[in-house]
């Protein structure tokens, strides 16, 4: 079983805090890897303009590094900031790590003048082209994300050790939202891309558990022929893509995500105020129904955070916090490590029907039950 931790706070904090929460939950995972997503970035040595997309990943060789530089240049991106990690290579298991990169780029004037949808598409296509470039060259280049105000780090090894190896405790980089997952993918082979969280056009999720309906869901998403629906080295990647499909492609409210991945039974929908619509939604999105034990934790571009449970609540997750700072973790000790100055009596463990939403203002969390009506989109 892997362990998950998410912290969201009004004041940027060091990702190392979340790694200490991972350490608190160390009995629950095998320490085979770390995936880290930072959103709402704040750099010590750079005044970051949130319009600049940030490219994060790993260049495994010097050639890859120079290919990356020329690739970005040719594509019209101007380098504005290059965060150099103080690395301690001896703490990293893998030896082919030439450079971890986290770089802010300015878009070309031509791209900036385009519509938001076109910009979003270009950013995604650029990341995918880089990924393909790496794959075509023996896997010497790994690109995790290319998106404004988002950075990602993935590595094989013990989470805290990786944090130490990258000296994440030096406060040079901080964020308002940080997601961490402590296990390499073990379902379908070790692969850097297979580590949670998964990211697509500003939407990220990580999951604790196994998605046994992976293959039919993957097949359906691939059939959409959307360039970002690719990868699938992990059965959990589809959770991020389903959220992307729900929110970005269909333009449905966040609450419908739960109705799509774990729809209510017909009997329950018969008693639901929006039952008829939801039955139709369940039919039309039938191939996106997940299965198996899962706790899905996600973040959206506006820094909203969510936590949704599988239909039977077969995985643990707790949320706790206070006005301005909230933590979601697989175990209560994880929450305790991230937001100790809260009233633990208000910690909440969602049940099968719940989606927890922490809105961007972070004042209080919303416990939304699937049996409750939700703000219908214009469509309904």
Partner 1 sequence: MVSARSVSVTPSSLSYTDLPWIVQHREDRCTLCGHCTAVCPKEAIYLAYRRQRMPKLDVLKKSRGNEYRTFVGIRQKTTMANACIGCSMCAMVCPNEAIMPVPNTNEHRTLFFNNQKGEPNKRGGRRNVSGPTLLDRIMFDRISMLTDPALDAGRHEFNITTTLGRILDPAEFLKRQKEGGWIPPTREIFPFVIGSMSFGALSPNMWLGLLQGVAYCNEVLGIPVVMGTGEGGCPPWVLKSPYLKYIILQIASGYFGWDEIIRAIPDMQCMPAAIEIKYGQGAKPGDGGLLMWYKVSKLIARLRGVPEGVDLPSPPVHQTLYSIEESVMKMIQTLSTAFDHQVPIYPKISASTSAKSVLNNLVRNPYAGGMLIDGIDGGTGAAYNVSMDATGHPIASCVRECYLDLVTQGKQNEIPIFAAGGIGKNGNVAQNGMALIMLGASGVHIGKYIMQAAAGCLGNEKNRCNVCNVGICPKGITSQNPKLYRRLDPDLVAERVSEVFMSINTEIKKIMAPLGRSQSLPVGMSDALGIGDKAVADRLQIKYVC
Interface positions, 166-195, toward partner 1 (CB under 8 A): 186-187
Q: Applying CB under 8 A, which of residues 281, 300, 305, 337 lies at the interface with partner 1?
A: 281
Residue 379 found at the interface with partner 1 (CB under 8 A): yes
Interface positions, 96-135, toward partner 1 (CB under 8 A): none
The residue count for binding partner 1 (CB under 8 A) is 44
Interface positions, 217-246, toward partner 1 (CB under 8 A): 219-220, 222-225, 245
Identify which range of 45-53, 90-98, 190-198, 204-212 contacts partner 1 by CB under 8 A. 204-212
Asked if residues 197 and 35 have their Cβ atoms less than 8 Å apart, the reply is: yes
Identify which range of 94-102, 131-139, 171-179, 206-214 contacts partner 1 by CB under 8 A. 206-214
Residue 216 found at the interface with partner 1 (CB under 8 A): yes
Q: Applying CB under 8 A, which of residues 90, 265, 341, 343 lies at the interface with partner 1?
A: 265
CB of 287 to partner 1, least distance (A): 5
Query: What is the side-by-side order of every strand in the sheet holding 294-299?
Result: 198-200, 203-209, 294-299, 305-309, 354-358, 366-369
Residue 28 found at the interface with partner 1 (CB under 8 A): no
Q: Applying CB under 8 A, which of residues 65, 81, 277, 348 lies at the interface with partner 1?
A: 277
Task: Write the secondary structure of the chain as one string of H (helix), E (strand) and C (coil).
Answer: CCCEEEEEEEEEECHHHHHHHHHHCHHHCCCCEEEEEEEEEEECCECCCCCCEEEEEEECCHHHHHHHHHHHHHCCCEEEEECCCCCCHHHCCCCCCCEEEEEEEECCHHHHCCCHHHHHHHHHHHHHHHHHHHHHCCCCEEEEEEEECEEEEEEECCHHHHHHHCCHHHCCEEEEEEEEECCCCCCCCCCHHHCCCEEECCEEEEEEECCCCHHHHHHHHHCCCCCCCCCCCCCCHHHHHHHHHHHHHCCCCCCHHHHHHCCCCHHHHHCCCCHHHHHHHHHHCHHHCCCCCEEEEEECCCCCEEEEECCCCCCCCEEEEECCEEEEECCHHHHHHHCCCCCHHHCECCCCCEEEEECCCCCCCEEEECCCCCCCCCCC
Among residues 152 and 240, whose Cβ is nearest to partner 1? 240
Among residues 90 and 265, whose Cβ is nearest to partner 1? 265
Residue 275 found at the interface with partner 1 (CB under 8 A): no
Residue 247 found at the interface with partner 1 (CB under 8 A): no
As a whole number of angstroms, the longest Cα–Cα distance in the chain is: 61
CB of 55 to partner 1, least distance (A): 30
Residue 314 found at the interface with partner 1 (CB under 8 A): yes
Among residues 114 and 287, whose Cβ is nearest to partner 1? 287
Kindly write out the interface string for residues 286-305 of this chain, putting x where it contacts partner 1 by CB under 8 A and - elsewhere.
xx-xxxxx------------
CB of 261 to partner 1, least distance (A): 9
| Phi-psi group of 324: left, alpha or beta (phi > 0 → left; psi -120 to 50 → alpha; rest → beta) | left
Identify which range of 49-57, 138-146, 165-173, 250-258 contacts partner 1 by CB under 8 A. 250-258
Among residues 49 and 266, whose Cβ is nearest to partner 1? 266
Among residues 91 and 250, whose Cβ is nearest to partner 1? 250
Kindly write out the interface string for residues 49-88 of this chain, putting x where it contacts partner 1 by CB under 8 A and - elsewhere.
----------------------------------------
Q: Applying CB under 8 A, which of residues 49, 212, 361, 364 lies at the interface with partner 1?
A: 212
Residue 270 found at the interface with partner 1 (CB under 8 A): no
Distances (CA, A) of 226 to 91, 209, 231, 241: 38, 26, 12, 10
Asked if residues 328 and 5 have their Cβ atoms less than 8 Å apart, the reply is: yes
Q: Applying CB under 8 A, which of residues 90, 115, 116, 283 lies at the interface with partner 1?
A: 283
Q: Footprint of partner 1 on this chain (CB under 8 A)?
A: 1, 186-187, 209-210, 212-216, 219-220, 222-225, 245, 249-252, 262, 265-266, 277, 280-281, 283-287, 289-293, 311-312, 314, 377-380
């Amino acid at each position: 079983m892997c362990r998950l931790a998410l912290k969201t706070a009004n004041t940027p904090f060091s990702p190392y805090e979340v790694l200490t929460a991972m350490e608190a939950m160390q009995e629950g995972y095998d320490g085979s890897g770390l995936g880290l997503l930072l959103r709402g970035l704040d750099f010590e040595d750079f005044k970051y303009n949130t319009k600049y997309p940030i490219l994060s990943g790993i260049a495994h060789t010097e050639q890859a590094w120079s290919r990356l530089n020329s690739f970005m240049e040719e594509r019209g991106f101007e380098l504005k900031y290059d965060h150099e990690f103080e690395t301690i290579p001896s703490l990293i298991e893998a030896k082919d790590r030439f450079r971890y990169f986290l770089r802010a780029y300015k878009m070309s004037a031509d791209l900036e003048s385009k519509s938001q949808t076109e910009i979003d598409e270009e950013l995604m296509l650029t990341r995918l082209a880089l990924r393909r470039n790496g794959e075509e060259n023996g896997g010497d280049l790994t690109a995790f994300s290319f998106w404004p105000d988002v950075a990602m780090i993935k590595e094989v090894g013990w989470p805290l050790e990786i944090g130490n190896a990258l000296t994440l405790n030096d406060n040079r980089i901080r964020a308002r939202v940080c997601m961490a997952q402590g296990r390499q993918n073990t379902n379908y082979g070790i692969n850097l891309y297979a580590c949670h969280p998964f990211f697509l056009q500003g939407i990220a999720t990580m999951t604790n558990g196994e998605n046994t309906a992976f293959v039919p869901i993957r097949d359906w998403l691939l059939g959409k022929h959307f360039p970002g629906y690719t990868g699938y080295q992990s059965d959990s990647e589809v959770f991020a893509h389903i959220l992307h499909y729900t929110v970005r492609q269909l333009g449905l409210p966040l609450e419908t995500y739960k109705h799509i991945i774990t729809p209510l039974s017909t009997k329950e929908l018969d008693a639901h105020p929006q039952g008829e619509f939801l039955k139709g939604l369940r039919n039309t999105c039938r191939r996106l129904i997940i299965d198996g034990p899962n706790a899905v934790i996600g973040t959206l571009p506006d820094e909203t955070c969510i936590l949704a449970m599988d239909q039977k609540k077969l995985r643990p997750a707790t949320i706790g916090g206070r006005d301005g700072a909230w933590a979601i973790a697989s175990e209560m000790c994880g929450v305790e490590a991230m937001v100790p100055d809260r009233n633990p009596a208000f910690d909440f463990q969602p049940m099968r029907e719940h989606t927890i939403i922490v809105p961007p203002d972070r004042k209080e969390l919303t416990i939304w039950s699937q049996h409750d009506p939700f703000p219908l989109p214009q469509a309904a």
